[in-house]
Amino acid sequence: MAELPTPIWVLESYTYEDSKIARLIVELPNDPILNMLDTRGEFKPAVFNQVMQILQVLKGEIPSGTLMETGILDRVPIIEHDCDFSLIMFIKHYRGSSMTAVCKHRSVSTELITKMNDSSFTNPLFKEAPFIMKVPMGYVQLDGMIFFTITGHETSDLDESEVSVVRSKI
């Protein structure tokens, strides 16, 4: 079983056009299986959906069909739950690229969602945002399957050199 660090960075929320936006960065490790899944067009079912379930738990929600260590329930919500939507940047170390996804929590305009899908607009929202927390997540390969799991306690004591490296990947 191989486990690779896959941290979730929680950034300060942002308000744009009366919508409150949670900003998160998920670093995906340099791994050939992730690259293969992405190349085959299987990123959403294999990676995105699992990460979204973890983010729901960090917001204090319990998605159905999720296996989790119940001790985390004493520490949630870690991510603000009063946001209209979340912007999630996936930094793909296996490709040297990034991708931003929008996850709606409440009704927002189609025009706003379209704008949030434009990386020339959203990249500065990530690059300039204060980083407020790091949640340790792990990427596990086991018997030909992949899993993402929370591997420890969140921390707001951030290493500025590590934050600078993440900013440089945006």
Domain ranges of the chain: 2-168
For CA atoms 58, 62, 67, 69, give the dihedral sign.
positive
Per-position pLDDT tens, the chain of length 170: 568 899 999 999 999 988 899 999 999 999 999 999 999 999 999 999 999 888 887 877 776 666 556 666 566 566 777 888 889 999 999 999 999 998 877 778 888 888 888 999 999 999 999 999 999 999 998 887 888 988 888 889 999 999 999 999 99
pLDDT in tens, 135-166: 999 999 888 788 898 888 888 999 999 999 99
User: CB atoms < 10 A from the CB of 44, how many?
Assistant: 12
pTM confidence score: 0.90
